[in-house]
């Protein structure tokens, strides 16, 4: 096969989640700020975007990996072949308008539809998709900027398709954002001069837009230590005058481009501020509220990373499924003793079938998790946004599950892509097939925007302990309602039993961890990942069972053979997950409850 045609989408499952399970035509479309988008428009938009991604994004997936980025040593990065053409086609087709609200000239799609679109783009070419962050930065300026900042930047970003970056990490600080040393000196009004070095800045420079808008965290003179002392600044590549016109080159220069194991088409940059030229920036919103402001970008990025991982697993699974249906090797295991037995397609071998269903159940389960999370975001926006009291409960639920989307999805997909490769055997290890690039491009997802254990600590300390488990209890209550609703549904009795046991185990895990934490926070250090994974697997299992309920009803009235096969597949995914994944939560509970602190007492020299 040609890796240019690597991308295999799953619009059927996307539509199943959006319109059959989540029923967004009743819950989201036609409501509030999404009043003008209907189901037909959403379907047409996603169908068109899928066709666009196949034609423009997927075709430069390989060149972005094989052909190095250009860097002139003077701050300027050039893109691989095809990337610029694809970006031009993206904006020419108006696809950037899908996630933009109507008041910014967009189509007003809710997060459910927008994240479904992101799956298509990220699955077809993740490195290229990251160059589109400027579109989201327009929404940040619109939400947080002063009137002057909106005049300077908003229409420019929208009309001229400027790039955008989030600039947090520093060489010596790493994930400890509060240890950042970049300084900001007040000039006048909301203007500051910044000095410092930032690292691992995704797409810190590229040669498609005329300007790039960096959102930079820095510490103003006199500000205290830690994250509370940070402010966020708009720092452009070229200064933007008060009337919105382009000014002189600003002192934010890329001084190095990292050489990475994967996602090579994305320029990961060192960004030096204020070394050769003064680096001017504007205090966002005129307020010293940097970490809270930046978290709006961080949360979007975390959702994006989790969605990217899920999309990669989905296309990897569908590639391995196609290969398994075509590749003949070995006789049927039941006839292996007969040397004259015919060779069969490898999908007939039990272990390959197990590998395929493992991938299928997780790809579909993670998609269900992502789109359910997006449906929560729909409700946050419909009820007035983050700062509205009516949206508070939905906002808290979104905060709770984001570590599952980012942390669990990225970690589990990293593991499962090796199973995709295993289906291909040795063929998967070579570049004739896309799996080896998927593995290299996806591994970064476990590190981006906070490593997996940072997500685990965020879940336990900030999302559960901080509100005394109230949001967690609401979530567990929703799952319990589904369990109760399955009483008497014989076809899903296995799923109900597994979900019941997993629900009890997760409740016990959190209760036990609260007690252990009173003894020492080191227990969270040792067991946090298990806690994160257990909750994620419970929620995924729940969403698969909810989907199975819908599929069971739809299967009974389906007339087309393809529809019946699809619904059979949904039932099979839920059953496989219930029998093979959910029981593992009980083991996690045992290990967590038996956990000790012996390793903390061990001499460093013993390692």
CATH number of 86's domain: 1.10.540
* Residue pair 429/421 in contact by the 8 Å Cβ criterion: yes
Domain count, the chain: 1
**Does the residue 484 lie in any domain?**
no
Q: How far apart are the C-alpha atoms of 467 and 400, rounded to whole Å?
A: 10
Domain enclosing residue 75, as ranges: 3-143
**Does the residue 48 lie in any domain?**
yes
Say yes or no to pLDDT of 1 above 60: no
Mean pLDDT of the region 302-306: 98
- Which residue spans within 157-295 are E strands per DSSP? 163-167, 183-188, 191-202, 212-220, 231-236, 238-240, 246-249, 252-257, 268-273, 279-283
pLDDT tens-place string over residues 428-479: 999 999 999 999 999 999 999 899 999 999 999 999 999 999 999 999 999 9
Q: How far apart are the C-alpha atoms of 122 and 35, rounded to whole Å?
A: 27
Would you call 221 a catalytic residue per the annotation? no
Give 2's pLDDT tier (boundaries 50, 70, 90).
Answer: low
Count CB atoms within 10 A of the CB of residue 427.
13
Mean pLDDT of the region 479-486: 98
**Does the residue 14 lie in any domain?**
yes
pTM of the full structure: 0.97
pLDDT tens-place string over residues 395-408: 999 999 999 999 99
For the chain, give the longest Cα–Cα distance: 86
**Does the residue 107 lie in any domain?**
yes
Q: What is the pLDDT of residue 176?
A: 86
Angle, in degrees to the nearest 10, between helices 470-485 and 493-519: 160
**Does the residue 409 lie in any domain?**
no
**Does the residue 63 lie in any domain?**
yes
Q: How far apart are the C-alpha atoms of 259 and 266, rounded to whole Å?
A: 10
Q: How far apart are the C-alpha atoms of 594 and 578, rounded to whole Å?
A: 25
| Residues forming beta bridges with residue 503, ordered by sequence position | none
DSSP per residue, 294-328: HHHHHHHHHHHHHHHHHHHHHHHHHHHHHHHHH-E
Q: What is the pLDDT of residue 149?
A: 97
3-state class (DSSP) for residue 581: coil
Mean pLDDT of the region 500-512: 98
Say yes or no to pLDDT of 424 above 50: yes
Mean pLDDT of the region 208-220: 97
3-state class (DSSP) for residue 170: coil
pLDDT tens-place string over residues 111-155: 999 999 999 999 999 999 999 999 999 999 999 999 999 999 999
**Does the residue 499 lie in any domain?**
no
Q: To the nearest whole percent, how much of the chain has pLDDT over 70?
A: 99
- 364, 411, 449, 495: the catalytic one is 449
**Does the residue 43 lie in any domain?**
yes
- List, in order, residues 6 or more apart from 335 with CB less than 8 Å away: 341
């Amino acid at each position: 096969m040609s890796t240019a045609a690597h991308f295999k989408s799953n619009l059927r499952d996307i539509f199943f989640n959006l319109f059959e399970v989540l029923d967004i035509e009743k819950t989201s479309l036609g409501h509030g700020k999404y009043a003008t988008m209907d189901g037909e428009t959403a379907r047409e938009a996603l169908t068109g975007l899928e066709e666009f991604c196949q034609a423009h994004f997927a075709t430069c997936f390989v060149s972005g990996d094989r052909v190095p980025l250009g860097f002139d040593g003077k701050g300027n990065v050039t893109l691989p072949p095809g990337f610029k053409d694809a970006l031009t086609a993206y904006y020419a087709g108006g696809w950037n308008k899908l996630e933009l609200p109507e008041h910014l000239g967009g189509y007003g799609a809710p997060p459910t539809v927008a994240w479904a679109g992101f799956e298509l783009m990220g699955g077809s070419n993740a490195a290229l998709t990251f160059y589109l962050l400027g579109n989201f930065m327009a929404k940040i300026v619109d939400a947080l900027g002063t009137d002057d900042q909106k005049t300077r930047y908003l229409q420019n970003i929208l009309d001229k398709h400027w790039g955008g970056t989030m600039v947090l990490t520093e060489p010596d600080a790493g994930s400890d954002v509060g240890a950042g040393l970049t300084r900001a000196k007040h000039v006048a009004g909301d203007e500051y001069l910044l000095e410092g070095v930032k690292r691992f800045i995704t797409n810190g420079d590229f040669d498609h837009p005329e300007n790039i808008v960096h959102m930079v965290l820095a510490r103003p003179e006199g500000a205290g230590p830690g994250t509370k002392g940070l402010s966020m600044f708009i720092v452009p590549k070229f200064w933007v005058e008060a009337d919105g016109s382009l000014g002189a080159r600003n002192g934010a220069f890329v001084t190095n481009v990292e050489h990475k194991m994967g996602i090579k088409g994305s320029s990961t940059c060192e960004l030096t501020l204020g070394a050769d030229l003064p680096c001017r920036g504007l205090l966002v919103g005129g307020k010293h509220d940097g970490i809270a402001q930046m978290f709006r970008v961080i949360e979007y990025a975390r959702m994006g990373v989790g969605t990217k991982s899920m999309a990669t697993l989905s296309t990897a699974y569908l590639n391995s499924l196609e290969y398994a249906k075509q590749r003949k090797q070995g006789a049927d295991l039941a006839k292996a003793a007969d040397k004259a037995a015919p060779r069969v397609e490898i999908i007939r071998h039990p272990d390959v079938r197990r590998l395929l269903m493992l991938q299928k159940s997780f790809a579909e389960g993670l998609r269900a998790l992502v789109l359910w999370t997006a449906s929560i975001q729909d409700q946050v926006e419909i009820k007035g946004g983050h700062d509205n009291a009516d949206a508070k409960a939905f906002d808290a639920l979104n905060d709770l599950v984001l570590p599952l989307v980012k942390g669990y999805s990225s970690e589990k997909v990293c593991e499962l892509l090796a199973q995709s490769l295993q289906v291909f055997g040795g063929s998967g290890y070579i570049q004739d097939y896309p799996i080896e690039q998927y593995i290299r491009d996806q591994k970064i997802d476990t590190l981006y925007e906070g490593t997996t254990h940072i997500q685990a600590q965020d879940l336990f300390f900030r999302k559960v302990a901080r509100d005394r488990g109230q949001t967690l209890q609401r979530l567990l209550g929703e799952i319990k309602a589904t369990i109760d609703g399955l009483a008497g549904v014989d076809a899903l009795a296995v799923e109900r039993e597994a979900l019941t046991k997993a629900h009890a185990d997760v409740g016990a895990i959190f209760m036990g961890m609260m007690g252990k934490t009173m003894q020492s926070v080191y227990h969270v250090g040792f067991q946090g990942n298990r806690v994160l994974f257990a909750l994620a697997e419970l929620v995924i299992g729940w969403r698969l069972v909810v989907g199975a309920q819908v599929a069971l009803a739809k299967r009974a009235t389906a007339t087309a053979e393809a529809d019946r096969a699809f619904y059979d597949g949904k039932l099979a995914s839920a059953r496989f997950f219930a029998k093979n994944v959910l029981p593992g939560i009980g083991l996690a509970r045992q290990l967590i409850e038996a956990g000790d602190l012996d390793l903390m007492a061990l001499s460093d020299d013993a390692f």
